[in-house]
Amino acid sequence: MVLVLNSTEVRAALPMKEAIRSVEEGFRALGAGRAVVPKRLGISIKEFDGSLLCMPAYITDQEALAVKAVSVYPRNQEKGRPTLSAVAVLLDPRTGEPLAIIEGGALTAIRTGAAVGIATKHMAAEGARRVGIFGAGAVGRAAADAVKEVLGEPVIRVYDLVRARAERFAKEVSRQLDIDASVAADPRDAASWADVIVTATTSATPVFDGRCLGSGAHINAMGANSPDAREVDTATLLRARGRIVLDSKEACMAEAGEILIPMAEGAIRESDIFGELGEVLAKGRAVRRSEKDVTLFKSVGVAVQDAAAAAAVYKIAKAAGIGREIQF
């Protein structure tokens, strides 16, 4: 029997605390060489301004074997439709048989939020509490949930190009997470104030001026994932030089405009990259030298996150009787 989980069931079966635990375990396995994560396959659907990505992974520690297919259509936002659609398939590593078919949009948002929480936990300055979130979508909401888990009682300012979305985000996050969330007047109002920044937008150009960052700020750059797009500017990379952590160096060196554009400009070099998040976790490496350092985590998304999250949601859903089983 194969378990089928829709987006509501995924959210019900995978609380952020468990997502952070599972995804952190996956990243640690990746850093220790106990996970197989090939470079993702992608194709462009140019006439519709979309793309399709295929992301397989196997984590030996968790016996998690999964593949996710995800489509990204930025112009869907204009039509009131999701910019990201996805489906994940979890398989039994012993037999290769499918165990679960999982709605991938909710899974992706949760596992991306979990990565924000993990990076913030290990890279933000001690006592960090003020969080600026750029982008009032599903990933921004998951990030709010994640920073609450790792920071305790964060205070959030959200900025979105559409103010009504930001206002709705602040109202819902305040009510659902019982934290203080408000709308930033402009990008500087969020970036210059924050101890921790999360960028979770579809923007192809920087969403704030890195020169306005406060001392000791930590940035989680989660949105852009193509060589010619970036949410974070060169000024930010210069301030974080030597304290830049990637989810996957191979993937970021192929896809992350935040890294590739400043390199092409001659502003930073590959040696300015501290390492990968998995290595930081597996080896216990301290990224921050002082509370004044600016640190940056760049993520384009790696399949180890999906496999870890899929295994966790399957286990919890099976135990709780969530979802429905079908015969293949």
**Does the annotation count 249 as an active-site position?**
no
In this structure, are residues 75 and 49 in contact, taking their beta carbons and an 8 Å threshold?
yes
In this structure, are residues 154 and 138 in contact, taking their beta carbons and an 8 Å threshold?
no
**Which among 39, 46, 68, 249 is annotated as catalytic?**
68
Q: What is the CA radius of gyration of the chain?
A: 19
In this structure, are residues 156 and 322 in contact, taking their beta carbons and an 8 Å threshold?
no
DSSP SS3 for 62: coil
In this structure, are residues 70 and 45 in contact, taking their beta carbons and an 8 Å threshold?
no
Contacts (Cβ under 8 Å, ≥6 apart) of 101:
2, 3, 4, 5, 87, 88, 89
* Of the candidates 146, 101, 145, 76, the residue with the CA atom closest to the CA atom of residue 10: 101
Contacts (Cβ under 8 Å, ≥6 apart) of 2:
98, 99, 100, 101, 325, 326, 327, 328
Instruction: Kindly list the catalytic residues.
Output: 68
